[in-house]
Amino acid sequence: VWNLPNLQGLTSVLVGDVNWRQIIQPTAQENLAVLTAGPLPPSDYPPGLLESKRMFQLLQELCSEYDLVVVDTPPLTAAADASVITAMCDGLVLVVRPNVVNKRVLAKVRDSLMQNRVNLLGQVVNGVVAENEGYTYYLYYNRYPSENPKVVSNGTPVRNGVSNGSNSWFKLFSNSRDK
């Protein structure tokens, strides 16, 4: 997305090759900097970089320098890395894609998040093709109701806690904090 070089990045910082301040990269987006993943760690380096004390310290440093730190991980179902990093973060924004994410798998992810008391900040549904939806598509927003309704890209207000359309898989997370 950002077309940034990846010669050095997170792995470089974690193995001690470089300080993150030297390699964090500005983007064309104002007030946005990116620390890329970096190259694969050396083959003789022990596993567990992401659950290391250095990773925890790095996140603390980044949080003290920036107003918001977003950590992009592989899918929760694809790699243990995501679960390890989730435990170090204040919250999780779950990104799902209709007709790609299996409802049963999503339900297991939900159960795991609830069991581990992960702070689910919200969900992002991407890859929605309007022609494939039987109804107007609304984002589901229930976590923090407000007087000002949220608006999706087509200008339609989102009612708090309401999901309209054929996206029952997405309703798996409705009222999850109450269960």
pLDDT digits (tens, 9 = 90+) for 21-51: 999 999 999 999 999 999 998 888 878 898 9
Q: What span, in angstroms and rounded, lies between the C-alpha atoms of 71 and 128?
A: 23
Better-predicted residue by pLDDT, 1 or 159? 1
Write down the pLDDT at residue 133: 55
Residue 14's pLDDT band, with cuts at 50, 70 and 90, is very high
Write down the pLDDT at residue 174: 43
**Sole residue written with tokens 């904090």:** 177
Write down the pLDDT at residue 116: 86
